[in-house]
């Protein structure tokens, strides 16, 4: 995937169109939540301070009361001082038990025109320090709380790393922090105290957010594009490798012997595909079989294997005319009329394939919707001498349905049931029922994946006809199969000879008895 200037501009425009509404929506929600959180936190603080001073005795300035007042001031980070006044005159504060000064004219005006409690910002006349004043009504007088405005400004500034806010009174004058010019903002008005929290974002912050998200989207899209391109290139490379392998005839047949449980003779084999990559390295089937089945390349591979089988079969069959070889087919392969015709033509041209050929239909796909069509195809192959086996019985799609609707000659029991047949009672019962079902349908039974003598004996006790698995042999090439078959036949001859010798020894060799 090449990132041209035009593509990059299109990607940037798309990213910008996506980033703008996402950023604005996020900031809108964040401002709304933050303004509410700040208002609630400020409410709690002011409520706590108001409650604390209202619990103090109004007209008593004894040592205990003064101590409580001083303790209140010292225990609060934001509170600088507390004073009590009545009839427009201060009576005492946390610093002086006896005061006789008048309240400011501005405070007198506020008490006449604004509802309680009062909350406003003012610069102290004594030490020129910015303060936030809170005035609450007592029983007969008023408490005035002087709070450190700088501390509260810092608290609000640090409320969020990205967004900023300030607090205003009902008349719009600033109480906490400085007023800011926001591109957009959200506000939250307190129901307990006379203030409104405004949180927003400046134009520069909005543009920074949009720009950052746009850059992130562009980078993410480029990464996704590179990954997709890598996967596509890899798949393309895989297909190309397979095409080269087919051309070079790198796919070779391996054969796994199938044993008769009654006679112990080798009655057939299953053809399994192996990839001899560049005629040097053998590639395991789990690295390519599923992929070639999905992309359709399994069809030319299967044709190539059948052509090789036409040559190999007379050699591995020897003098046994009943020897057969089974080959795997999937529903998608049989649904391709061109492929089906190619296989039929190959069988007609190859005498060795006109007898002892079994097609194993694997149940990796659902056959329910293709029963009628599949039955006709199977019948056409039967007319050419091909028999049919249902592979992986019990683990695929609609096995019982397939058995009912399609006339199979052989049922192959999946290794899943074989592996745990001697240890799991449920699996053993299922295996027994499969064996009974096969006999009822007059199908030959083959058990796959036999690895132990215990499993073999279990299958023999259920009258399973044939077995195959690593217990006998792994899949091997033609030359190794020939050698294995020869050695096995020699062992059988020796075993039969010993049996005959035993029978001869049991016969009576004395003089004839005249009775």
More confident residue, 7 or 3: 7
Domain that holds residue 372: 248-495
Rounded distance, CA 81 to CA 85, Å? 13
Question: Is 9 part of a structural domain of the chain?
Answer: no
Chain center to CA of 343: 40
Residue 398: its pLDDT value, please? 45
For the chain, first and last CA: distance in Å? Answer: 103
b/e map of 417-439 (b: 16 or more CB within 10 Å)?
Answer: bbbbbbeeeebbebbeebbebbe
Predicted local distance difference test score (pLDDT) of residue 97: 82
d(CA 184, CA 31): 9
What mean pLDDT comes out for the span 61-72? 77
Query: Mind listing the pLDDT tens digit for each residue in 191-233?
Result: 999 999 999 998 888 898 899 999 999 888 888 888 876 665 5
DSSP tag of 229: H
pLDDT per residue as tens digits for the range 465-511: 999 999 999 999 999 999 999 999 999 888 888 777 776 665 555 55
Residue 18 pLDDT > 70: yes
Domain boundary among 174, 206, 238: 206
* 398 shares its domain with 326: yes
Instruction: Between 414 and 268, name the one with better pLDDT.
Output: 268
List Cβ<8 Å contacts ≥24 apart for 334-340: 334/361, 334/374, 334/377, 335/370, 335/373, 336/299, 339/299, 339/303, 340/377, 340/380
**Within a domain: 331:** yes
Q: Cα–Cα distances in Å, from 227 out to 21, 223, 233, 294?
A: 27, 6, 10, 21
Give domain status of residue 307, yes or no: yes
Are residues 142 and 253 both part of a single domain? no
Residues 194 and 272 both lie in one domain:
no
Query: Is the bond preceding 117 in cis, omega lying within 30 degrees of 0?
Result: yes
How many CB atoms are located within 10 Å of the residue 1 CB? 12
Residue 457 pLDDT greater than 80, yes or no: yes
**Residue 515's pLDDT band (cuts 50, 70, 90):** very low
Kindly state whether residues 179 and 270 are assigned to the same domain. Answer: no
Q: Do 303 and 419 belong together in one domain?
A: yes
Whether the CB-CB separation of 179 and 153 falls below 8 Å is answered with no
> What b/e readout covers 130-146, taking b as 16+ CB neighbours within 10 angstroms?
ebbbbbbebeebbbbbb
Alpha carbons 431 and 458: distance in angstroms, whole number = 10
Question: Residue 256 belongs to a domain with what CATH number?
Answer: 3.20.20.450
Residue 47: C-alpha distances to residues 44, 97, 102, 167, 381 (Å): 5, 25, 26, 17, 91
Residue 287 DSSP code: G
Last residue of a domain, one of 156, 185, 206: 206
Confidence of residue 77 (pLDDT cuts 50, 70, 90): confident
In this structure, what token pair is assigned to residue 37?
A: 């959180």
Establish if 5 belongs to a structural domain.
no
pLDDT value of position 396: 58
97 and 29 part of one domain: yes
142-148 vs 164-168, strand pairing mode: unpaired
Distance of CA 192 to the CA centre of its chain: 50
Q: Looking at the structure, do residues 162 and 295 belong to the same domain, yes or no?
A: no
Assess whether 154 and 271 both reside in one domain: no
Q: How confident is the model at residue 47 (pLDDT cuts 50, 70, 90)?
A: very high
Residue 513: its pLDDT value, please?
A: 44
What average pLDDT is seen over the chain? 87
In the three-class reduction of DSSP (H, G, I as helix; E, B as strand; rest coil), residue 401 is classed as helix
Domain count, the chain: 2
Residue 130 lies in a domain: yes
Q: Is residue 161 part of a domain?
A: yes
The answer to whether residues 33 and 181 belong to one domain is: yes
Do residue 180 and residue 295 come from a single domain? no
163 half-sphere exposure, CB direction, 13 A CA radius: 26
Q: In whole angstroms, give the CA distance from residue 133 to residue 169.
A: 12
Confidence of residue 33 (pLDDT cuts 50, 70, 90): very high
Q: Quick one: 260 and 198 in the same domain? A: no
For the residues 84-88, what does the mean pLDDT come to? 91
Does 236 reside within a domain?
Answer: no
CATH of the domain at 123: 3.30.450
Query: So what's the pLDDT on residue 2?
Result: 54
Q: Are residues 181 and 260 in the same domain?
A: no
Q: Is residue 53 part of a domain?
A: yes
- Residue 213: alpha-carbon gap to chain centroid: 26
Q: What is the 3-state secondary structure (H, E, C) of 122-157?
A: EECCCCCCEEEEEEEECCCCEEEEEEEHHHHHHHHH
Q: What is the pLDDT of residues 310-340, one digit of tens each?
A: 999 999 998 899 999 999 998 889 999 999 9
The structure tokens listed for 88 are 């427009």
| Residue 80 neighbours by CB under 8 Å, 6+ apart | 73, 129, 131, 146, 147, 148
State how far the Cα of 188 lies from the Cα of 31, in Å rounded to an integer. 10
Residue that terminates a domain, selected from 191, 206, 221: 206
CA 285, CA 287: separation in Å to the nearest integer?
Answer: 5
Model confidence over 408-437: pLDDT tens digits? 999 998 888 888 766 676 677 888 888 888
Task: Give how far Cα 246 sits from Cα of 199, 236, 242, 298, 328, Å.
Answer: 69, 15, 6, 10, 18
């Amino acid at each position: 995937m090449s990132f041209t200037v035009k593509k990059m501009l299109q990607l940037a425009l798309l990213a910008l169109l996506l980033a703008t509404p996402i950023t604005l929506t996020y900031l809108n929600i964040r401002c709304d939540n933050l303004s509410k959180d700040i208002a609630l936190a400020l409410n709690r603080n002011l409520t706590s301070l108001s409650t604390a001073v209202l619990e103090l005795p109004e007209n008593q300035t004894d040592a205990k009361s003064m101590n409580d007042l001083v303790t209140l001031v010292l225990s609060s980070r934001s509170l600088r001082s507390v004073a009590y006044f009545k009839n427009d005159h201060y009576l005492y504060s946390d610093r002086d038990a006896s005061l006789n000064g008048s309240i400011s004219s501005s405070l007198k005006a506020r008490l006449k025109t604004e509802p309680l409690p009062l909350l406003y910002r003012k610069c102290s006349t004594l030490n020129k320090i910015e303060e936030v004043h809170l005035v609450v009504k007592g029983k007969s007088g008023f408490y005035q709380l002087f709070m450190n405005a700088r501390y509260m400004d810092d608290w609000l500034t640090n409320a969020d790393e990205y967004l900023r806010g300030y607090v205003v009174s009902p008349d719009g004058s600033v109480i906490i922090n400085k007023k800011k010019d926001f591109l957009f903002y959200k506000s939250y008005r307190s129901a307990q105290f006379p203030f409104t929290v405004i949180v927003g974002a400046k134009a520069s912050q909005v543009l920074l957010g949009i720009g950052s998200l746009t850059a992130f989207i562009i980078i993410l899209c480029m990464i996704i594009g590179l990954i997709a391109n890598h996967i596509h290139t890899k798949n393309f490379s895989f297909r190309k490798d397979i095409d080269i392998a087919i051309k070079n005839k790198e796919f070779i047949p391996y054969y796994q012997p199938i044993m008769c449980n009654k006679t112990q003779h080798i009655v057939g084999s299953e053809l399994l595909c192996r990839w001899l990559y560049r005629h040097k390295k053998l590639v395991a089937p789990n690295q390519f079989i599923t992929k070639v089945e999905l992309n359709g390349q399994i069809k030319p591979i299967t044709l190539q294997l059948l052509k090789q089988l036409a040559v190999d079969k007379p050699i591995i069959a020897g003098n046994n005319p009943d020897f057969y070889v089974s080959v795997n087919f999937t529903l998608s392969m049989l649904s391709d009329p061109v492929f089906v015709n190619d296989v039929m033509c190959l069988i007609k041209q190859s005498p060795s394939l006109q007898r002892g050929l079994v097609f194993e239909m694997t149940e990796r796909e659902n056959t329910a919707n293709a029963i009628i069509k599949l039955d006709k195809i199977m019948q056409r192959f039967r007319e050419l001498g091909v028999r049919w086996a249902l592979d992986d019985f019990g683990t695929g799609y609609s096995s019982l349905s397939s058995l009912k609707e399609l006339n199979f000659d052989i049922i192959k029991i999946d290794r899943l049931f074989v592996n745990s047949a001697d240890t799991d009672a449920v699996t053993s019962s299922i295996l027994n029922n499969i064996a009974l079902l096969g006999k009822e349908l007059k199908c030959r039974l083959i058990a796959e994946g036999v690895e132990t003598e215990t499993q073999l004996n279990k299958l023999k006790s259920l009258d399973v006809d044939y077995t195959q698995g690593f217990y006998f042999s792994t899949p091997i090439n033609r030359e190794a199969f020939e050698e294995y078959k020869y050695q096995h036949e020699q062992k059988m001859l020796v075993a039969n000879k010993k049996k005959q010798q035993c029978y001869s020894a049991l016969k009576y060799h004395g003089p004839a008895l005249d009775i």
